[in-house]
Amino acid sequence: MANINWRTINIDALDPDSPANFDLSSLTPAVEPISTADVQNTSQQIRQLLRGGDNEGALQGALESPPYGADDKGKEVYLAIVLEVLQSIRQAEIAQMLGRIYSAPGGTEALDVLMKYIYKGMAQAAPASSARNITPQATGFSQVHSRGGGDGGGQAMSVLLSWHEKVRDSTLFPYTPGIPSRELRRTLFLAAGIVGVSVTIEDQLLITAIACGGCWSR
pLDDT in tens, 6-62: 788 888 778 877 777 777 777 777 788 999 999 999 999 999 999 999 999 999 999
97 lies in the same domain as 196: no
Which of 21, 23, 22 has the alpha carbon at shortest distance from 13? Answer: 21
90 lies in the same domain as 145: yes
CATH, residue 41 = 1.25.40.190
56 lies in the same domain as 161: yes
Which of 79, 70, 46 has the alpha carbon at shortest distance from 60? Answer: 46
48 lies in the same domain as 128: yes
- Distance between CA 117 and CA 211 in Å, rounded? 33
| 16: in domain | no
40 lies in the same domain as 90: yes
Domain that holds residue 193: 177-218
| 19: in domain | no
Which of 189, 183, 141 has the alpha carbon at shortest distance from 166? Answer: 183
Count CB-CB contacts under 10 A for residue 155. 19
The verdict on pTM exceeding 0.85 is no
165 lies in the same domain as 184: no
167 lies in the same domain as 208: no
124 lies in the same domain as 192: no
The burial of 205, by beta-carbon neighbours within 10 Å (0-12 exposed, 13-18 middle, 19 or more buried), is given as middle
pLDDT in tens, 94-134: 988 998 998 889 888 999 999 999 999 988 844 444 444 54
44 lies in the same domain as 151: yes
| Residues of the chain above pLDDT 90, percent | 33
